[in-house]
Amino acid sequence: MGEIVTVGVVGCGLMGSGIAEICARAGLDVLVGEVSPEAAMAGRRRVVASLDRGVRSGKLSEEDRDAALSRLTFSADLGDFADRHLVIEAVAERFEVKTATLATLGKVLRSPDAIIASNTSSIPVMDLAACTDRPDRVIGMHFFNPVPVQKLVEIVPTQLTSGHVVDHVTEFVTTRLGKTAIRAQDRSGFVVNALLVPYLMSAVRMLESGFASAEDIDAGMVLGCAHPMGPLRLLDLIGLDTAQSVAESMYEEFKEPLHAPPPLLRRMVAAGTLGRKTGRGFHRYDE
């Protein structure tokens, strides 16, 4: 299996834009897929804003920002991904959307060695791999938000993922992207969300029952346990729609009440108050 030089990232939302950014900063040729030219423009703006933030905070030179941007190309046609060595899927956390993307990628990729990775947080990777013509080349590669900041990637092989693919992707994540990889079994939620989701859903239930205010719940965990942010602010960062999808997949897998999205979360998603990305969630983001 050759070195991974050409990378594809499908989906350029919160996670996809971060993944595309770190791959471009690592010197890789990155093709980013979005559903329309408008969505691609919005994704590119997200990457530029994050790179600019790096320049402002002195972490990145202007030359390195421009070089990273020059390595990014956008396309609304998955057919353009034919020459990629590795494609990371980061579309919405919905089964039908992910399987449609992966099935198309399987048909499009020219090299039989090309790897398809999914950034799913909670959908069993085997269920996704089964929709492709190359289940042995499919693996979970789960990043954390904000991708340029969080140092972890969960590597999730299925029963059918080839050992070479696991080694190759782990080497890529650690050596090329400079992240720490941990291995998780293909069970909904993997390692991190298996621990995080019951905690986050408990915080919503605590607020919903009137047990404590949003401010106090968050202050409790920031000041009492030195978490960088409280659980409700973290839900706002993740996006309430994504958090609901993750919790639903985990509930579907284990039928564990602690995973079930509480009514308040569902109503907020229905209301479109999705957290930071819409300016309002458990807290307000007016800036």
Annotated catalytic residues are: 121, 142, 154, 193
Cα→Cα distances 226→130, 207, 229, 246, 250, Å: 41, 20, 8, 25, 27
75 touching ligand CAA, by CB under 6 A: no
Contacts with ligand CAA by CB under 6 A: the residue count is 18
50 touching ligand CAA, by CB under 6 A: yes
6 touching ligand CAA, by CB under 6 A: no
Cβ atoms within 10 Å, residue 105: 24
Write down how long the chain is.
287
Q: How far is the CB of 206 from ligand CAA (least distance, A)?
A: 18
Q: How far is the CB of 202 from ligand CAA (least distance, A)?
A: 15
Site for ligand CAA in 210-239 (CB under 6 A): 228-229, 234, 237-238
90 touching ligand CAA, by CB under 6 A: no
Burial of 94 (0-12, 13-18, 19+ CB in 10 A): middle
262 touching ligand CAA, by CB under 6 A: no
DSSP state string for 87-127: EEE---S-HHHHHHHHHHHHHH--STT-EEEE--SSS-HHH
DSSP character for 284?
Answer: B
First to last CA, the chain: 47
- Among 17, 158, 193, 249, interactor with ligand CAA by CB under 6 A: 193
Whole-number Å distance between alpha carbons of 193 and 198: 8
Nearer to ligand CAA, 109 or 147 (CB): 147
Residue tagged 């509480």 (tokens): 262
Q: How far is the CB of 82 from ligand CAA (least distance, A)?
A: 29
13 touching ligand CAA, by CB under 6 A: no
Site for ligand CAA in 133-172 (CB under 6 A): 144-146, 148-150
Token pair for residue 135? 């289940």
- Among 45, 53, 107, 183, interactor with ligand CAA by CB under 6 A: 53
Nearer to ligand CAA, 7 or 19 (CB): 19
Contact footprint for ligand CAA (CB under 6 A): 50, 53, 57, 59, 121, 144-146, 148-150, 193, 228-229, 234, 237-238, 246
